[in-house]
Structure 1
Amino acid sequence: MKVGLLFGSFNPVHLGHLAVVRYWLNETDLNQVWLVVSPQNPHKPVEELAPPQERLRMVELATQGDPWVRPSAVEFQLPRPSYTIQTLGHLRQAYPHYAFVLLLGSDAAASLPTWKEGDRLLREWPLWVYPRKGADAEQLPPSPHLRFFPEAPRIDLSATQIRQYLRQGRSIRYWVPSAVEAYIYARGLYGTRPLT
Protein backbone atom coordinates (compact mmCIF):
# COMPACT_ATOMS: atom_id res chain seq x y z
CA MET A 1 0.00 0.00 0.00
CA LYS A 2 1.27 3.49 -0.87
CA VAL A 3 0.42 6.07 1.78
CA GLY A 4 0.89 9.82 1.69
CA LEU A 5 1.69 11.43 5.03
CA LEU A 6 0.57 15.01 5.59
CA PHE A 7 2.02 16.16 8.90
CA GLY A 8 0.59 19.21 10.60
CA SER A 9 -0.61 20.93 13.70
CA PHE A 10 -4.07 21.11 12.10
CA ASN A 11 -4.84 24.06 14.35
CA PRO A 12 -7.57 23.75 13.04
CA VAL A 13 -7.83 21.43 10.04
CA HIS A 14 -9.44 23.34 7.15
CA LEU A 15 -10.68 22.92 3.59
CA GLY A 16 -7.27 23.85 2.16
CA HIS A 17 -5.80 20.75 3.80
CA LEU A 18 -8.65 18.59 2.53
CA ALA A 19 -8.53 19.97 -1.03
CA VAL A 20 -4.87 19.08 -1.42
CA VAL A 21 -5.51 15.63 0.09
CA ARG A 22 -8.25 15.02 -2.47
CA TYR A 23 -5.87 16.16 -5.23
CA TRP A 24 -3.23 13.60 -4.15
CA LEU A 25 -5.81 10.81 -4.09
CA ASN A 26 -7.33 11.74 -7.46
CA GLU A 27 -4.14 12.52 -9.38
CA THR A 28 -1.47 10.16 -8.02
CA ASP A 29 -1.03 6.50 -7.22
CA LEU A 30 -1.53 6.96 -3.46
CA ASN A 31 -3.93 4.46 -1.88
CA GLN A 32 -4.48 6.54 1.26
CA VAL A 33 -3.46 9.80 2.87
CA TRP A 34 -2.88 9.96 6.60
CA LEU A 35 -3.21 13.29 8.38
CA VAL A 36 -0.52 13.03 11.06
CA VAL A 37 -1.42 15.37 13.92
CA SER A 38 1.70 16.79 15.55
CA PRO A 39 1.06 17.34 19.27
CA GLN A 40 4.08 19.64 19.59
CA ASN A 41 5.76 21.00 16.49
CA PRO A 42 9.26 22.21 17.41
CA HIS A 43 8.87 25.13 14.96
CA LYS A 44 5.62 26.51 16.40
CA PRO A 45 4.85 28.26 19.70
CA VAL A 46 2.96 25.91 22.03
CA GLU A 47 0.74 28.70 23.41
CA GLU A 48 -0.98 29.11 20.02
CA LEU A 49 -1.96 25.45 19.81
CA ALA A 50 -5.29 24.01 20.87
CA PRO A 51 -4.77 20.90 23.03
CA PRO A 52 -3.52 17.94 20.96
CA GLN A 53 -6.61 15.78 21.62
CA GLU A 54 -8.87 18.62 20.44
CA ARG A 55 -6.91 18.97 17.18
CA LEU A 56 -6.99 15.21 16.63
CA ARG A 57 -10.74 15.18 17.20
CA MET A 58 -11.21 17.93 14.60
CA VAL A 59 -9.22 15.88 12.07
CA GLU A 60 -11.37 12.84 12.90
CA LEU A 61 -14.52 14.90 12.30
CA ALA A 62 -13.15 16.34 9.04
CA THR A 63 -12.28 12.91 7.60
CA GLN A 64 -15.21 10.92 8.98
CA GLY A 65 -16.66 8.55 6.41
CA ASP A 66 -13.73 8.81 3.96
CA PRO A 67 -12.00 5.42 3.70
CA TRP A 68 -9.02 6.91 1.82
CA VAL A 69 -8.16 9.54 4.42
CA ARG A 70 -7.12 8.54 7.90
CA PRO A 71 -6.30 10.63 10.97
CA SER A 72 -3.11 9.53 12.69
CA ALA A 73 -2.12 10.04 16.31
CA VAL A 74 1.21 8.22 15.92
CA GLU A 75 3.16 11.20 17.27
CA PHE A 76 1.09 11.14 20.48
CA GLN A 77 2.96 7.94 21.41
CA LEU A 78 6.44 9.32 20.64
CA PRO A 79 8.72 11.65 22.62
CA ARG A 80 8.01 15.36 22.32
CA PRO A 81 8.69 17.58 20.55
CA SER A 82 7.83 15.59 17.45
CA TYR A 83 10.52 15.22 14.81
CA THR A 84 9.41 14.00 11.39
CA ILE A 85 12.48 11.83 10.86
CA GLN A 86 11.77 9.89 14.06
CA THR A 87 8.09 9.48 13.22
CA LEU A 88 8.95 8.18 9.75
CA GLY A 89 11.36 5.65 11.26
CA HIS A 90 8.67 4.50 13.67
CA LEU A 91 6.13 4.12 10.84
CA ARG A 92 8.62 2.23 8.68
CA GLN A 93 9.08 -0.31 11.51
CA ALA A 94 5.37 -0.54 12.34
CA TYR A 95 4.28 -0.92 8.69
CA PRO A 96 7.17 -2.62 6.85
CA HIS A 97 5.06 -3.43 3.78
CA TYR A 98 3.81 0.13 3.28
CA ALA A 99 5.49 2.66 1.01
CA PHE A 100 5.30 6.11 2.62
CA VAL A 101 5.50 9.45 0.83
CA LEU A 102 5.95 12.70 2.74
CA LEU A 103 3.55 15.38 1.46
CA LEU A 104 4.74 18.94 2.05
CA GLY A 105 3.62 22.44 1.25
CA SER A 106 6.33 24.51 -0.42
CA ASP A 107 6.58 26.59 2.77
CA ALA A 108 7.46 23.53 4.87
CA ALA A 109 9.71 22.13 2.14
CA ALA A 110 11.67 25.39 1.94
CA SER A 111 12.42 25.09 5.67
CA LEU A 112 13.67 21.47 5.42
CA PRO A 113 17.32 22.50 5.94
CA THR A 114 16.35 23.66 9.47
CA TRP A 115 14.60 20.39 10.36
CA LYS A 116 16.21 17.72 12.48
CA GLU A 117 18.10 15.57 9.96
CA GLY A 118 16.48 17.45 7.07
CA ASP A 119 19.32 16.38 4.77
CA ARG A 120 18.57 12.74 5.61
CA LEU A 121 14.89 13.28 4.81
CA LEU A 122 15.91 14.52 1.36
CA ARG A 123 18.19 11.52 0.83
CA GLU A 124 15.95 8.73 2.10
CA TRP A 125 12.29 9.63 1.75
CA PRO A 126 10.04 10.44 -1.20
CA LEU A 127 8.97 14.07 -0.78
CA TRP A 128 6.09 15.45 -2.82
CA VAL A 129 5.74 19.22 -2.69
CA TYR A 130 2.61 21.25 -3.45
CA PRO A 131 2.56 25.05 -3.86
CA ARG A 132 1.81 27.46 -1.03
CA LYS A 133 1.52 31.21 -1.45
CA GLY A 134 4.77 33.10 -0.96
CA ALA A 135 6.95 30.01 -0.57
CA ASP A 136 9.49 28.66 -3.01
CA ALA A 137 10.97 25.24 -2.36
CA GLU A 138 12.70 24.98 -5.74
CA GLN A 139 15.99 26.06 -4.11
CA LEU A 140 16.30 22.81 -2.17
CA PRO A 141 19.31 20.66 -3.03
CA PRO A 142 18.51 18.25 -5.86
CA SER A 143 17.27 14.86 -4.76
CA PRO A 144 15.88 11.92 -6.73
CA HIS A 145 13.21 11.68 -4.02
CA LEU A 146 11.96 15.25 -4.45
CA ARG A 147 8.97 15.81 -6.73
CA PHE A 148 7.09 19.06 -7.33
CA PHE A 149 3.39 19.27 -8.15
CA PRO A 150 2.82 22.86 -9.36
CA GLU A 151 -0.66 21.95 -10.62
CA ALA A 152 -1.89 20.98 -7.14
CA PRO A 153 -4.61 23.33 -5.87
CA ARG A 154 -3.29 26.44 -4.20
CA ILE A 155 -5.90 27.46 -1.67
CA ASP A 156 -4.80 30.60 0.12
CA LEU A 157 -6.30 29.69 3.45
CA SER A 158 -4.36 29.32 6.66
CA ALA A 159 -5.13 28.08 10.15
CA THR A 160 -3.58 31.31 11.46
CA GLN A 161 -6.15 33.34 9.53
CA ILE A 162 -8.98 31.12 10.77
CA ARG A 163 -7.88 31.53 14.40
CA GLN A 164 -7.66 35.30 13.92
CA TYR A 165 -11.19 35.42 12.50
CA LEU A 166 -12.49 33.37 15.41
CA ARG A 167 -10.85 35.68 17.96
CA GLN A 168 -12.51 38.61 16.18
CA GLY A 169 -15.91 36.92 16.31
CA ARG A 170 -16.06 36.58 12.51
CA SER A 171 -17.50 33.66 10.58
CA ILE A 172 -15.33 30.79 9.35
CA ARG A 173 -18.17 29.08 7.55
CA TYR A 174 -16.99 27.34 4.35
CA TRP A 175 -13.36 27.48 5.55
CA VAL A 176 -13.62 24.38 7.72
CA PRO A 177 -15.97 21.39 7.51
CA SER A 178 -19.26 22.16 9.27
CA ALA A 179 -18.61 19.44 11.88
CA VAL A 180 -15.27 21.09 12.72
CA GLU A 181 -16.88 24.53 12.97
CA ALA A 182 -19.55 23.17 15.32
CA TYR A 183 -16.89 21.44 17.43
CA ILE A 184 -14.82 24.63 17.76
CA TYR A 185 -17.82 26.53 19.12
CA ALA A 186 -19.03 23.65 21.29
CA ARG A 187 -15.59 23.36 22.93
CA GLY A 188 -14.89 27.10 23.12
CA LEU A 189 -11.65 26.81 21.14
CA TYR A 190 -9.60 29.74 19.82
CA GLY A 191 -11.28 32.37 21.94
CA THR A 192 -14.85 31.40 21.09
CA ARG A 193 -17.47 31.07 23.78
CA PRO A 194 -18.50 27.50 24.53
CA LEU A 195 -22.08 26.72 23.67
CA THR A 196 -24.21 25.87 26.70
Structure 2
Amino acid sequence: MKVGLYFGSFNPIHIGHLVIANHLAEYSDLDQIWFVVTPHNPFKKKSSLLDNYQRLEMVYLATKDYKKLKPSDIEFNLPQPNYTVNTLAHLQEKYPNNTFALIMGEDNLKSFHKWKNYEVILDNHDIYVYPRISESNIDTRFNGHKKIHHVNAPIMQLSSTFIRKAIKDGKLVEPMLPKNVWEYLDEMNFYK
Protein backbone atom coordinates (compact mmCIF):
# COMPACT_ATOMS: atom_id res chain seq x y z
CA MET A 1 0.00 0.00 0.00
CA LYS A 2 1.28 3.47 -0.89
CA VAL A 3 0.62 5.98 1.89
CA GLY A 4 0.90 9.74 1.58
CA LEU A 5 1.97 11.45 4.80
CA TYR A 6 0.40 14.85 5.34
CA PHE A 7 2.25 16.45 8.27
CA GLY A 8 0.83 19.36 10.22
CA SER A 9 -0.18 20.77 13.55
CA PHE A 10 -3.84 20.73 12.37
CA ASN A 11 -4.65 23.44 14.89
CA PRO A 12 -7.47 23.07 13.84
CA ILE A 13 -7.90 20.79 10.83
CA HIS A 14 -10.14 22.56 8.29
CA ILE A 15 -11.87 21.90 4.98
CA GLY A 16 -8.79 23.05 3.04
CA HIS A 17 -6.76 20.18 4.53
CA LEU A 18 -9.52 17.71 3.62
CA VAL A 19 -9.91 19.03 0.05
CA ILE A 20 -6.16 18.61 -0.62
CA ALA A 21 -5.93 15.17 1.05
CA ASN A 22 -9.04 13.88 -0.73
CA HIS A 23 -7.77 15.21 -4.08
CA LEU A 24 -4.52 13.26 -3.59
CA ALA A 25 -6.42 10.13 -2.51
CA GLU A 26 -8.62 10.30 -5.62
CA TYR A 27 -6.26 11.65 -8.31
CA SER A 28 -2.85 10.11 -7.52
CA ASP A 29 -1.45 6.62 -7.01
CA LEU A 30 -1.65 7.04 -3.21
CA ASP A 31 -3.93 4.45 -1.57
CA GLN A 32 -4.33 6.31 1.72
CA ILE A 33 -3.47 9.68 3.21
CA TRP A 34 -2.33 9.74 6.84
CA PHE A 35 -2.68 13.04 8.67
CA VAL A 36 0.45 13.01 10.85
CA VAL A 37 -0.31 15.29 13.79
CA THR A 38 2.91 17.05 14.75
CA PRO A 39 3.40 17.09 18.52
CA HIS A 40 4.01 20.29 20.39
CA ASN A 41 7.73 21.05 20.38
CA PRO A 42 8.70 21.17 24.07
CA PHE A 43 11.35 23.80 23.30
CA LYS A 44 8.89 26.26 21.78
CA LYS A 45 6.42 28.55 23.48
CA LYS A 46 3.03 26.87 23.53
CA SER A 47 0.97 29.92 22.44
CA SER A 48 -2.36 28.82 20.92
CA LEU A 49 -1.36 25.24 20.07
CA LEU A 50 -3.90 22.82 21.51
CA ASP A 51 -2.85 19.65 23.30
CA ASN A 52 -1.60 16.86 21.02
CA TYR A 53 -4.57 14.58 21.76
CA GLN A 54 -7.16 17.34 21.26
CA ARG A 55 -5.74 18.01 17.80
CA LEU A 56 -5.60 14.26 17.06
CA GLU A 57 -9.26 13.99 18.13
CA MET A 58 -10.20 16.75 15.66
CA VAL A 59 -8.33 14.94 12.86
CA TYR A 60 -10.11 11.71 13.81
CA LEU A 61 -13.50 13.48 13.74
CA ALA A 62 -12.69 15.10 10.38
CA THR A 63 -11.53 11.88 8.68
CA LYS A 64 -13.64 9.11 10.23
CA ASP A 65 -16.15 9.08 7.37
CA TYR A 66 -13.48 8.86 4.63
CA LYS A 67 -11.97 5.41 4.20
CA LYS A 68 -8.80 6.70 2.47
CA LEU A 69 -8.02 9.39 5.10
CA LYS A 70 -6.57 8.39 8.50
CA PRO A 71 -5.29 10.21 11.60
CA SER A 72 -1.78 9.33 12.83
CA ASP A 73 -0.11 9.96 16.18
CA ILE A 74 3.13 8.28 15.06
CA GLU A 75 5.28 11.26 16.10
CA PHE A 76 3.83 11.53 19.63
CA ASN A 77 6.19 8.87 21.00
CA LEU A 78 9.30 9.74 19.02
CA PRO A 79 12.10 11.75 20.67
CA GLN A 80 11.68 15.53 20.36
CA PRO A 81 12.59 17.60 18.51
CA ASN A 82 11.82 15.18 15.71
CA TYR A 83 12.87 15.25 12.07
CA THR A 84 10.84 13.95 9.12
CA VAL A 85 13.69 11.66 8.04
CA ASN A 86 13.46 9.89 11.44
CA THR A 87 9.68 9.56 11.24
CA LEU A 88 9.97 8.02 7.77
CA ALA A 89 12.57 5.51 8.99
CA HIS A 90 10.38 4.63 11.97
CA LEU A 91 7.28 4.14 9.79
CA GLN A 92 9.16 2.02 7.24
CA GLU A 93 10.36 -0.22 10.07
CA LYS A 94 6.90 -0.44 11.67
CA TYR A 95 5.04 -1.00 8.36
CA PRO A 96 7.55 -2.79 6.07
CA ASN A 97 4.88 -3.65 3.47
CA ASN A 98 3.90 -0.01 2.93
CA THR A 99 5.58 2.59 0.76
CA PHE A 100 5.55 6.09 2.24
CA ALA A 101 5.48 9.37 0.36
CA LEU A 102 5.47 12.97 1.60
CA ILE A 103 2.78 15.52 0.85
CA MET A 104 3.79 19.16 1.04
CA GLY A 105 2.81 22.58 -0.21
CA GLU A 106 4.93 24.34 -2.80
CA ASP A 107 6.06 26.75 -0.07
CA ASN A 108 7.67 23.85 1.85
CA LEU A 109 9.46 22.59 -1.25
CA LYS A 110 11.23 25.96 -1.43
CA SER A 111 12.98 25.28 1.89
CA PHE A 112 13.23 21.49 1.49
CA HIS A 113 17.01 21.69 0.87
CA LYS A 114 17.35 22.89 4.50
CA TRP A 115 15.65 19.79 5.96
CA LYS A 116 17.80 17.31 7.84
CA ASN A 117 19.05 14.63 5.40
CA TYR A 118 16.73 15.82 2.64
CA GLU A 119 18.80 13.81 0.12
CA VAL A 120 18.00 10.57 2.01
CA ILE A 121 14.30 11.45 1.92
CA LEU A 122 14.45 12.11 -1.84
CA ASP A 123 16.39 8.90 -2.51
CA ASN A 124 13.78 6.76 -0.74
CA HIS A 125 10.42 8.54 -0.96
CA ASP A 126 8.23 10.27 -3.51
CA ILE A 127 7.07 13.79 -2.72
CA TYR A 128 3.68 15.07 -3.81
CA VAL A 129 3.58 18.85 -4.03
CA TYR A 130 0.32 20.77 -4.06
CA PRO A 131 0.14 24.37 -5.34
CA ARG A 132 0.18 27.47 -3.15
CA ILE A 133 -0.06 31.11 -4.16
CA SER A 134 3.45 32.50 -3.73
CA GLU A 135 6.05 34.67 -5.37
CA SER A 136 9.46 32.98 -5.07
CA ASN A 137 10.82 30.20 -7.23
CA ILE A 138 11.54 26.61 -6.29
CA ASP A 139 15.18 25.59 -5.87
CA THR A 140 16.44 24.53 -9.32
CA ARG A 141 17.86 21.26 -7.97
CA PHE A 142 14.23 20.10 -7.57
CA ASN A 143 13.05 21.05 -11.08
CA GLY A 144 12.10 17.94 -13.01
CA HIS A 145 13.23 15.60 -10.20
CA LYS A 146 11.83 12.11 -10.81
CA LYS A 147 10.68 11.73 -7.18
CA ILE A 148 8.85 15.07 -7.02
CA HIS A 149 5.29 15.03 -8.38
CA HIS A 150 3.41 18.30 -8.80
CA VAL A 151 -0.29 17.72 -8.23
CA ASN A 152 -2.94 19.91 -9.77
CA ALA A 153 -4.94 20.12 -6.53
CA PRO A 154 -7.23 23.08 -5.81
CA ILE A 155 -5.41 26.09 -4.32
CA MET A 156 -6.72 26.60 -0.81
CA GLN A 157 -6.37 30.06 0.70
CA LEU A 158 -7.53 29.00 4.15
CA SER A 159 -5.31 28.69 7.19
CA SER A 160 -5.64 27.44 10.74
CA THR A 161 -4.13 30.75 11.91
CA PHE A 162 -6.93 32.68 10.19
CA ILE A 163 -9.56 30.37 11.75
CA ARG A 164 -8.10 30.69 15.28
CA LYS A 165 -8.04 34.49 15.00
CA ALA A 166 -11.59 34.58 13.62
CA ILE A 167 -12.85 32.46 16.54
CA LYS A 168 -11.07 34.73 19.01
CA ASP A 169 -12.70 37.74 17.32
CA GLY A 170 -16.15 36.16 17.62
CA LYS A 171 -16.59 35.50 13.88
CA LEU A 172 -18.60 32.58 12.51
CA VAL A 173 -16.16 29.99 11.09
CA GLU A 174 -18.47 26.99 10.96
CA PRO A 175 -18.44 26.72 7.12
CA MET A 176 -14.61 26.44 7.14
CA LEU A 177 -14.55 23.32 9.32
CA PRO A 178 -15.93 19.81 9.05
CA LYS A 179 -19.25 19.80 10.95
CA ASN A 180 -18.15 17.50 13.77
CA VAL A 181 -14.87 19.42 14.21
CA TRP A 182 -16.85 22.67 14.51
CA GLU A 183 -19.15 21.07 17.11
CA TYR A 184 -16.16 19.78 19.11
CA LEU A 185 -14.37 23.15 19.01
CA ASP A 186 -17.52 25.01 19.99
CA GLU A 187 -18.34 22.62 22.85
CA MET A 188 -14.76 22.79 24.20
CA ASN A 189 -14.57 26.59 23.79
CA PHE A 190 -11.24 26.28 21.97
CA TYR A 191 -9.40 29.36 20.67
CA LYS A 192 -11.78 31.85 22.36
TM-score norm. by structure 1 comes to 0.89
Structure 2 equivalent of residue 159 of structure 1: 160
Structure 1 equivalent of residue 186 of structure 2: 185
Q: How far, CA to CA, are the matches of 1:71 and 1:116 in structure 2?
A: 24
Paired residue secondary structure (1:189)? coil
Contact 2:40/2:51, CA 8 A, preserved across alignment: no
Contact 2:107/2:132, CA 8 A, preserved across alignment: yes
Q: Does 1:119 align with 2:132?
A: no
C-alpha deviation, 1:40, in angstroms: 2.7
Larger deviation, residues 11-20 vs 36-45: 36-45
Paired residue secondary structure (1:174)? helix
**Change over 3 Å in CA distance of 1:119–1:106 after alignment to 2:** same
Q: Does 1:15 align with 2:15?
A: yes
C-alpha deviation, 1:36, in angstroms: 0.5
Q: How far, CA to CA, are the matches of 1:103 and 1:90 in structure 2?
A: 17
C-alpha deviation, 1:79, in angstroms: 1.0
C-alpha deviation, 1:135, in angstroms: 5.9
Residue type of the partner of 2:34? Answer: W
Q: How far, CA to CA, are the matches of 1:44 and 1:152 in structure 2?
A: 32
TM-score norm. by structure 2 comes to 0.91
Larger deviation, residues 163-172 vs 80-89: 80-89
Larger deviation, residues 37-46 vs 136-145: 37-46
Residue type of the partner of 1:36? Answer: V
Q: Does 1:103 align with 2:103?
A: yes
Structure 2 equivalent of residue 47 of structure 1: 47
Q: How far, CA to CA, are the matches of 1:178 and 1:2 in structure 2?
A: 29
Q: How far, CA to CA, are the matches of 1:42 and 1:119 in structure 2?
A: 27
Contact 1:107/1:137, CA 8 A, preserved across alignment: no
**Change over 3 Å in CA distance of 1:21–1:33 after alignment to 2:** same
Contact 1:106/1:135, CA 8 A, preserved across alignment: no
Task: Provide the identity percentage.
Answer: 38
Paired residue secondary structure (2:191)? helix
Q: Give unmatched runs, 5+ long, in structure 1.
A: 192-196
Q: Does 1:36 align with 2:25?
A: no
Q: How far, CA to CA, are the matches of 2:45 and 2:80 in structure 1?
A: 14
**Change over 3 Å in CA distance of 1:157–1:43 after alignment to 2:** farther
Larger deviation, residues 118-127 vs 1-10: 118-127
Structure 1 vs Structure 2 CA RMSD: 2.0
Contact 2:6/2:33, CA 8 A, preserved across alignment: yes
Residue type of the partner of 1:154? Answer: I
Structure 1 equivalent of residue 150 of structure 2: 148
Q: How far, CA to CA, are the matches of 2:12 and 2:82 in structure 1?
A: 18
Q: Give unmatched runs, 5+ long, in structure 2.
A: none
Q: How far, CA to CA, are the matches of 2:135 and 2:43 in structure 1?
A: 16
C-alpha deviation, 1:48, in angstroms: 3.0
Q: How far, CA to CA, are the matches of 2:23 and 2:171 in structure 1?
A: 29
C-alpha deviation, 1:138, in angstroms: 2.9
**Change over 3 Å in CA distance of 1:15–1:45 after alignment to 2:** farther
Larger deviation, residues 26-35 vs 110-119: 110-119
Q: How far, CA to CA, are the matches of 2:44 and 2:136 in structure 1?
A: 20
Larger deviation, residues 7-16 vs 178-187: 178-187
Matches within 5 A, 1:74-93: 74-93=74-93
Structure 1 segments (4+ residues) deviating >4 Å: 41-45
